[in-house]
Amino acid sequence: MIKRTYKQKAGIAAVAVAIAMPAEGLRQWWYYCPAGIVSICYGSTGNVDKGRKYSMDECKALLDAEMLHYVELVDRCQPGLPEPVLAAFADAAYNIGPKVACGPGSTAARLLKSRDYEAACNQLPRWNKSTVAGKSIELAGLTKRRAQEQALCLTGA
């Protein structure tokens, strides 16, 4: 098993952040994402203070810290992934939750565990839906983001 240093994990998180920043966009005041979840900055959903404007530096620091958390989370549930695969699945987990990489019902998670990285990467486009007004619909932004994650992922497959 690969034991990654903090510096290595931070580098992997930086690669994932490069996908997340343009995909999420920056909003310094709170907003509802398409799924109806209160969010701030680059899609952060934790501890949102609806009464204030976040600075650009605060938003970037928040994204960096949260992405590092998801790199560590995916690295714990799927130890030893190649760096591009880990970065791609960390971004997906940041966006839609860890079930994509770690969930028992996820085909992608099962394929990661069996080290079939190419097949796991090719599962990412399937995660392009969100529940909007009670219906599961494909979102163009998620389709584009999953394609970027897939392309990155396949470089490590």
| Residue 19, domain member (yes or no) | yes
- Picking from 26, 81, 31, the residue whose alpha carbon sits closest to that of residue 58 is 26
Q: What is the pLDDT of residues 87-138, one digit of tens each?
A: 999 999 999 999 999 999 999 999 999 999 999 999 999 999 988 888 999 9
Q: What is the pLDDT of residues 70-80, one digit of tens each?
A: 999 999 999 99
Parent domain of 150: 6-154
Chain centre distance of CA 67: 7
CA 63, CA 89: separation in Å to the nearest integer? Answer: 16
Q: Would you state the pLDDT for residue 76?
A: 97
CA 26, CA 22: separation in Å to the nearest integer? Answer: 8
| Residue 95, domain member (yes or no) | yes
| Residue 35, domain member (yes or no) | yes
CA 116, CA 105: separation in Å to the nearest integer? Answer: 17
Residue 57, domain CATH: 1.10.530.40
Q: How many domains does the chain have?
A: 1
| Residue 11, domain member (yes or no) | yes
Chain centre distance of CA 95: 4
| Residue 60, domain member (yes or no) | yes
| Residue 1, domain member (yes or no) | no
Spatial contact of 115 and 109, defined as CB atoms under 8 Å apart: no
Task: Report yes or no on whether pTM surpasses 0.75.
Answer: yes
CA 43, CA 17: separation in Å to the nearest integer? Answer: 12
| Residue 85, domain member (yes or no) | yes
Residue 149 Cα distances to 54, 86, 100, 134, angstroms: 27, 10, 12, 26
Identify the H or E element spanning 129: strand 129-132
| Residue 65, domain member (yes or no) | yes
- Residue type for 95, please? N
